[in-house]
Amino acid sequence: MNIIKTDIPDVLIFEPKVFGDARGFFFESFNENVFAEAIGSRPRFVQDNHSKSSKNVLRGLHYQIKQPQGKLVRVTAGEVFDVAVDLRKSSPTFGQWVGEFLSVENRRILWVPPGFGHGFVTLSETAEFLYKTTDFYAPEHERCVMWNDPDLNVDWHIQDEPALSAKDKLGLLLKDADLFD
């Protein structure tokens, strides 16, 4: 597996080796030993999630202020632009974001550590998104930073206004949000 560093050192891209022929393909999407060596720890994954979204649906930027979740994310159908924002006030990369195109074609996998906001927008007609989390979903601790916060200035690679959930429409500006120390 090829491991690619991003502009935020804690966020990593995993690029699996794909073995294919006329019959189809095979690749290892997760190996605990490779993952632990890459991030320097061995987190326990407790939940797997699967979502399907239509074109231009934007989900995020989500995080949990308590029970923060690390997320290992990938796409199994279609394409998304995935974004991680550092929300750790004590971090040298606080308030910075990185984005990555994840698709069924490139098979890239993104590690979003605890302490980060996370979101994605669907670029294809539909996309299916799978992710493992290091803690359980806790709606009472969930928070959302506005997808279009001018201080973050995320380039979502979309032309039109995205489709948002009612919850995501209520996202806060970074400067007004509960954050990590």
Q: What are 126-156's pLDDT values in tens digits?
A: 999 999 999 999 999 999 999 999 999 999 9
Binding-site entries: 23, 28, 47-49, 59, 71, 118, 142, 167
| From 62, 137, 141, 157, the catalytic residue | 62
Question: pTM (2 decimals)?
Answer: 0.95
Q: Which residues are annotated as a binding site for substrate?
A: 23, 28, 47-49, 59, 71, 118, 142, 167
pLDDT in tens, 76-115: 999 999 999 999 999 999 999 999 999 999 999 999 999 9
Calpha distance 3→35 (Å, rounded): 9
Q: Which residues contact 162 (CB under 8 A, 6 or more apart)?
A: 56, 57, 58, 121, 147, 156
137 in catalytic set: no
* 63 assigned to active site: no
